[in-house]
Amino acid sequence: MTLLLFLKSLQRKAEKELKEAKELKQLDDIFQKYLGKKGELTAILRSLEKLPETKRAKVGKQANNLKNLVKQRIEVKAKKMRLVKEVAKKTDWIDVTIPGRKPLAGHLHPLTQIKSQAEEVFQSIGFSVVEGPEIENEWYNFDALNIPKDHPARDAWSTFWLKDSKLLLRTHTSPVQVRYMEKNNPPLRIIVPGRIFRHEATDASHEINFYQVEGLMIDKKVSAANFKAIIQEFFKRFFGKETKIRMRPSYFPFTEPSFEVDMSCLNCRGEGCPVCSQTGWLEMMGAGMVHPTVYKATGLNPKYWQGFAFGIGMDRLAMMKYKINDIRLFYGGDLRFLNQF
Ligand SMILES: [Zn+2]
């Protein structure tokens, strides 16, 4: 290989290495490799004087060109690298005084919030929270509650029956009363929040599954007056001090006497508006004094014990509290709705 060809291959090698260099240290190494005391190019430059004059000029010129080229490339690239380093140093600095970005967090569903609020009120007046199964049998859901088979009252609860079994999805939370009375001796003071199911067409005020808070209080001398006082207290604490209630006679198979409880309309404060159909009152719950048949079914003697039971629709509480007019919104999973709570 002639010296000229060797210089050319040296140039290609140097150019390739320069191109690939990523750090200042590598540039330093390249400089030493070609132009340092023991550099390949330095050796050629030193040997020029030993060459015959005819070759010296040509080789000398090319070797010096290469020397300048390598030097210049190293300089340019080093400058660039230092600049990048400086900028990186500046941008790496963290301003600890900038307010942090708030991480996205979920929150409780409005019905869950209503459930805990209701639980809190009842717990503060001495009730314990009890839960029971959503899948029930006929005995707990109907018979023990004085709704025997073929009794017309069963039609009032459109039921989801489970295929090929005698099981059903509970149509109310009342079966938990029965289960609790079987296992515990009075005095009893419980509430039962939970999901219930009805085989019905849905509309603005009906869903196929919804939530109820059942209540039960049994002792030796628990009267309808006690019921009124407790429920009045509940509504005042839940909706505000001005809330009034009234009781109307009603019918349920598992209570005698039975009543319907109305609450003064929050929208018009009792003066009459479209929400309350101009009556000033809103129907909120069913209740009554526990029927003797229910005591018998659970092994308690109705001669010794008396008490009341009630069932409030949790969805209804939520609709009133947040002024929502369509129950289906609670179950639609639409974040535009849910994010407001
Ligand atoms: Zn009203």
Q: What is the pLDDT of residue 294?
A: 94
Ligand 1 mean position to 262 CA, how many Å?
Answer: 12
Ligand 1 mean position to 270 CA, how many Å?
Answer: 6
Q: Residue 273 and residue 271: Cα distance in Å, rounded? A: 7
241 lies in a domain? Answer: yes
Give Cα 205 to chain centroid, integer Å: 25
Q: What is the pLDDT of residue 57?
A: 85
Q: Is the confidence at residue 145, as pLDDT, over 80?
A: yes
Q: Residue 289 and residue 310: Cα distance in Å, rounded? A: 9
Task: Output the six-digit token pair for 99.
Answer: 């307010």
Ligand 1 mean position to 320 CA, how many Å?
Answer: 11
CATH of residue 316's domain is: 3.30.930.10
Q: Residue 330 and residue 105: Cα distance in Å, rounded? A: 20
Tell me what the pLDDT averaged over the chain comes to: 89
Ligand 1 mean position to 242 CA, how many Å?
Answer: 14
Helix (H, G, I), strand (E, B) or coil at 171: coil
Ligand 1 mean position to 329 CA, how many Å?
Answer: 22
Closest CA to 205 of 265, 150, 282: 282
Residues 56 and 121 in one domain: no
Virtual torsion, Cα 221, 301, 179, 110, nearest 10 deg = -20
**Do you know the residue count of the chain?**
341
Helix (H, G, I), strand (E, B) or coil at 227: helix
Q: Is the confidence at residue 297, as pLDDT, over 80?
A: yes
Residues 118 and 265 in one domain: yes
Q: What is the pLDDT of residue 207?
A: 74
168 lies in a domain? Answer: yes
Helix (H, G, I), strand (E, B) or coil at 326: coil
Residues 318 and 285 in one domain: yes
Residues 140 and 33 in one domain: no
What separation in angstroms does the CA of 120 have from each of 33, 117, 244, 328?
A: 81, 5, 20, 26
Q: Is the confidence at residue 183, as pLDDT, over 80?
A: yes
Q: What is the pLDDT of residue 330?
A: 87
Residues making up the annotated binding site are 256
Ligand 1 mean position to 278 CA, how many Å?
Answer: 6
Closest CA to 118 of 293, 312, 332, 302: 312
Closest CA to 211 of 196, 228, 224: 196
**Final residue of a structural domain among 63, 91, 119:** 91
Tokens 């009267």 sit on residue: 223
**C-alpha radius of gyration, the chain, whole number:** 43
Residues 74 and 123 in one domain: no
Q: Report the relative pairing of strands 281-290 and 255-264 from DSSP bridges.
A: antiparallel
> Interhelix angle for 3-20 vs 53-91, to 10°?
0
Closest CA to 197 of 133, 128, 108: 133
Residues making up the annotated binding site for Mg(2+) are 256
Ligand 1 mean position to 247 CA, how many Å?
Answer: 17
Give Cα 199 to chain centroid, integer Å: 28
Q: Residue 230 and residue 49: Cα distance in Å, rounded? A: 115
Residues 64 and 203 in one domain: no
What are the residues whose beta carbons fall under 8 Å from the beta carbon of 56, sequence distance 6 or more?
Answer: 48, 49
Say if residue 187 is preceded by a cis peptide, omega within 30 of 0: yes
Q: Which amino acid is at 68?
A: N
**Final residue of a structural domain among 91, 122, 143:** 91
**Final residue of a structural domain among 91, 121, 152:** 91
DSSP state of 51: S
**Between 267 and 214, the higher pLDDT residue:** 214
**Average pLDDT estimate for 311-315:** 90
Q: What is the pLDDT of residue 49?
A: 85
Q: Is the confidence at residue 165, as pLDDT, over 90?
A: no
The number of distinct structural domains making up the chain is: 2
**Average pLDDT estimate for 53-57:** 84
Sign of CA dihedral 282, 283, 285, 287: positive
Residues 60 and 121 in one domain: no
Ligand 1 mean position to 103 CA, how many Å?
Answer: 41
The parent domain of residue 64 ranges over 3-91
Helix (H, G, I), strand (E, B) or coil at 220: coil
The reported pTM is 0.67
Task: Output the six-digit token pair for 40.
Answer: 């390949």
Task: Output the six-digit token pair for 126.
Answer: 């001495």
pLDDT in tens, 73-115: 999 999 999 988 888 887 777 778 888 888 888 889 999 999 9
101 lies in a domain? Answer: no
Q: What is the pLDDT of residue 27?
A: 92
Residues 75 and 132 in one domain: no
* pLDDT category of residue 269 using cuts at 50, 70 and 90: confident
Ligand 1 mean position to 156 CA, how many Å?
Answer: 28
Ligand 1 mean position to 264 CA, how many Å?
Answer: 8
Q: Is the confidence at residue 1, as pLDDT, over 70?
A: no
Contact 246, 235 (CB under 8 A): no
What separation in angstroms does the CA of 57 have from each of 15, 50, 62, 65?
A: 24, 12, 9, 12
Residues 8 and 45 in one domain: yes
Contact 244, 263 (CB under 8 A): yes
Q: What percent of the chain has pLDDT over 70?
A: 98
Ligand 1 mean position to 282 CA, how many Å?
Answer: 8
96 lies in a domain? Answer: no
Residues 229 and 271 in one domain: yes
Ligand 1 mean position to 316 CA, how many Å?
Answer: 15
